[in-house]
Amino acid sequence: MKFYLSSFRIGNQKEKLVQMTKGGNRKIAFINNALDFATDLNRKNMSDLFDINDLTSLGFYVDILDLKNYFNKQEKLEETLEQFDVIWARGGNTFVLAQAMKLSGFDEILKKYHINNKNIVYGGYSAGVCILGPTLKGIHLVDDPSQKPYGMHYHTIWEGINIIDYVIAPHYKSDHPESKDIEKVVDYLIETRTPYKTLRDGEVIVIE
């Protein structure tokens, strides 16, 4: 399994993403559930369109994969994912994304892919990469953990998927509205002695 972890949108290693998927069907499952809390749907759709256009400009075929359609249907989700070369999780609210991944069983599927070293690329940015670490504590200083678009009865998820052993702090010292809050996140991670890596917008962590 390979990982392409960006701070914001595709980042500055586009050619690497293309290279990582060479020989495959170039189909991307685009997960946009991190924005399920949004009320301005026009703005949300335009943001998705920017991301999708970025990916299609590199020659990828992009299908939106709405995890809400797979809540309590993990087996069906796993069957659907078989047709894709790349899973791409966009930014938004990490806690909302965590809830969607838990309810659909996506988190367990991704762990299995990682253990079995499945030939697939997981990519994304912001919330889509924050979710991979061991904890979401610290991220609560930039993303609202009380956002629960799937029902207030669900408990807030504070654990990451734990595929990587550090927290990613995106938008660090960047021209991004969340950059100042990310500095608070970094201070929190230092104080709690939580392993972390910062990413400035444009930077990418590639794991092969």
To the question of pTM greater than 0.85 for the whole model, the response is yes
CA–CA dist 127, 71 (Å, integer): 20
C-alpha distances out from residue 60 to 50, 94, 167, Å:
14, 25, 29
pLDDT at 82: 95
CA–CA dist 177, 126 (Å, integer): 13
How many domains in the chain?
1
Residues whose CB is less than 8 angstroms from the CB of residue 19 and which lie 6 or more positions away in sequence, other chains included: none
Taking residues 131-135, what's their average pLDDT?
A: 98
pLDDT at 89: 98
Token readout for 74 is 């993990």
Taking residues 18-44, what's their average pLDDT?
A: 92
Q: Which of 30, 64, 34, 45 is nearest to 139 (CA)?
A: 34
CA–CA dist 90, 136 (Å, integer): 16
Q: Is the pLDDT of residue 160 over 90?
A: yes
The CATH number that applies at residue 103 is: 3.40.50.880
Q: Is the pLDDT of residue 57 over 90?
A: yes
Domain, as residue range, for 132 = 2-207
Q: Read off the pLDDT of residues 71-122 as tens digits, 9 standing for 90 and up.
A: 999 999 999 999 999 999 999 999 999 999 999 999 999 999 999 999 999 9
Work out the pLDDT band at 24, boundaries 50, 70, 90: confident
